[in-house]
Chain A
């Protein structure tokens, strides 16, 4: 890879950036809603990865017109429609679980939930 290739790979740089940002949010945030947001960013990066690989510069939509044309590959785009559906279901289910956790614990902060669980199990506050 030469220096000149780097701007041409612009899409992939964005993919990697979003992927790392998303994963970092999931790991670093204690708020459960923010974790879900991180997960969504992470999944979106994969959508971009697939869509970018199907695109051909100068290619059109794959519609049969009879004239010889260059088409983009439609398959990755279709795959990503499926993956978007999976992503939305996961997000919806995750948020629904956060609502239930909020009802049961009265908080959606990870450390406070851990504290509540500890107190319920051992009957006293956590000793450091």
Chain B
């Protein structure tokens, strides 16, 4: 009875729970509700993914209005996978959140924090699940507005969180407005907002200047949201000054969802036959992705604040994802989708480790990391494994992503790009190695006595780290889902 309504419940459950959190007024109760809701969302996402893998595409008509008039939720392997990533990270993160939030945010703001958190989760799931272009915009803005609030909550620790949130707000709004201009121009020539309907009608239109302009607006708008180099300027400060839990959540999910939205527009709606697209992929995305990989990794090496360092590393990693899609073949796209999942595991684990350091030491600067290898052995061991995975050592998920990425490059006939991918991994060795060196080989600062982080934080962190290794050794599940998703995207409707 309930099964046919799972797509709606995926969104409605967290959406309804968000204001309830506010009504509960007590931080611990709000946390409990958020935890239950996140687990429920994960359960729904798993059921949806299973249903899609066995039974094909699910189409859900909201309010029984048939598409293209009503809003359609359309779930194929690609967005079912993204739903799983978002809700999975949230489900692992919330047990971790309690101690971390308690130490970084004032007691009176806890229920507000979880309200904003659930709204952010709702928006992210909504962007992933919807089959309607304008609906996607609304969810994108729900997420963004909630994220601005969450980032600004870091102000208790450092007032720069406020300016970071403000910059993010300005750039995020410009991005969203560009996106909505693009959707409007598409509506002008096609008269529809349903993604599948758009795809059919755009293909019928052929060469059309309005469609090309819409394409440009959409790419720039989503590029701002996903922090495509050089549109990433909002990202490092927002990640560095946000509360640790928020950093983990947005680093692991929000840019990924924007990447998914871009994939959906590029491959489902416009399609590779669209003439401007092939040019954009080769002459815009490919150079920007490679420039981003090198520039951001190089900047990361010189950072003092480790959260900021990982933020720049995220910009570089987003470069890998954009690079995968720029190949325009199934292998490259598989690498992109695979890296959405793998990077969420890697950065989720790494930022959780830094969250533990902030919890005990109050800051995550490189000076504070001295001697931590002995004082917080479990946290730093997790950081080392996460770091190795980021570099792409075999037996970790980072290696699987790079393997597919390099295969995609060779398949596209761009073997110099494959060499560049390996070269940027060496830059990752430098910035991760720096932390390991300081943490294990240098003595702790005089008089600092810290102990291991509480268990409620260690266990979720290690769950992600173990997942890094598990999916690095047995990648058959993730690669097959990512492969199905890539074929669903590139081959139009499966």
B165 / chain A contacts, CB cutoff of 8 Å: 97
Q: Find chain B residues with CB under 8 A from A100 CB.
A: 152, 155, 162
- Tell which of B41-49, B72-80, B177-185 binds the partner: B177-185
Which stretch in A2-10, A58-66, A85-93 binds the other chain? Answer: A85-93
The 8 Å CB contact of B169, one of A50, A97, A117, is: A97
Asked if B184 and A49 make an inter-chain contact with CB atoms under 8 angstroms apart, the answer reads yes
Q: Tell me if B's interface is mostly helix, strand, loop or mixed.
A: helix
Query: B71 CB to closest chain A CB, in angstroms?
Result: 12
Given A90-B141, A100-B152: A76 in contact with B184 (beta carbons within 8 A): yes
A39 to B174, Cβ gap below 8 A?
A: yes
Known: A97-B148, A101-B162, A101-B163. A46 touches B177 (CB 8 A): yes
Q: A53, B184: Cβ atoms under 8 Å?
A: yes
B160 in contact with A39 (CB, 8 Å): no
Q: Are A76 and B177 in contact (CB under 8 A)?
A: no
Closest-CB distance, A5 to chain B (whole angstroms): 14
Q: Is A79 interfacial (CB 8 A cutoff)? A: yes
* CB-based contact A46/B174 at 8 Å: no
* Contacting residues, chain A, for B137 (C-beta < 8 A): 83, 86
The reply to whether A82 and B173 form a contact with Cβ atoms under 8 Å apart is no
> Is A94's CB under 8 angstroms from B169's CB?
yes
Residues of B within 8 A of A101 (CB): 162-163, 166
Interface string of B127-162 (1 = CB under 8 A from A): 000000010011001000100110010010001101
Interface size on A, residues (CB 8 A): 28
When the two chains form their complex, are residues A46 and B180 in contact, meaning their CB atoms are under 8 A apart?
Answer: yes
Q: Which of A23, A76, A86 has the most CB of B within 10 A?
A: A86
Determine which of B134, B155, B163, B177 lies in contact with A79 in the assembled complex, contact meaning CB atoms within 8 Å.
Answer: B134
**CB-based nearest B residue for A113:** B163
Are B159 and A104 closer than 8 Å at their CB atoms?
yes
Find A94's partner among B134, B166, B184 (CB 8 Å cutoff): B166
CB neighbours (8 Å) of A105 from chain B are 159
A21 at the interface (CB under 8 A from B): no
Point out the residue from A39, A76, A83, A90 that lies within 8 Å of B187, measured CB to CB: A76
- Pick the residue among B149, B152, B177, B184 that contacts A43 (CB under 8 A): B177
Q: Is the CB–CB distance between A82 and B138 below 8 Å?
A: yes
A38 to chain B, nearest CB (A): 9
Given contacts A39-B173, A117-B160, contact A32 B181 (CB under 8 A): no
From A32, A90, A98, contact of B173 by CB (8 A): A90
Say whether B170 contacts A35, CB under 8 Å. yes
Q: Which of B184-199 contact A (CB under 8 A)?
A: 184, 187-188
Q: Is the CB of B169 within 8 A of A93?
A: yes
Assess the B187–A97 pair: CB atoms within 8 A: no
Instruction: Quote the shortest CB–CB distance from B94 to chain A (angstroms).
Output: 24
B residues less than 8 Å from A39 (CB atoms): 170, 173-174
In this complex, what residue of B is CB-closest to A40? B173
Q: Verify B162–A26 contact, CB threshold 8 A.
A: no
Which 8 pairs of residues, A with B, have the shortest CB-CB distance? A104-B159, A86-B141, A101-B162, A97-B166, A53-B188, A100-B162, A90-B173, A50-B184
Additional 16 contacts, C-beta under 8 A, given A42-B174, A46-B181, A53-B184: A39-B173, A43-B173, A46-B177, A76-B184, A86-B137, A86-B138, A86-B145, A86-B176, A90-B145, A94-B166, A94-B169, A94-B170, A97-B162, A100-B162, A101-B166, A104-B155
13 A–B contacts, CB within 8 A, in A order: A23-B174, A26-B174, A42-B174, A49-B184, A76-B187, A79-B134, A90-B145, A94-B169, A100-B152, A100-B162, A101-B163, A104-B162, A113-B163
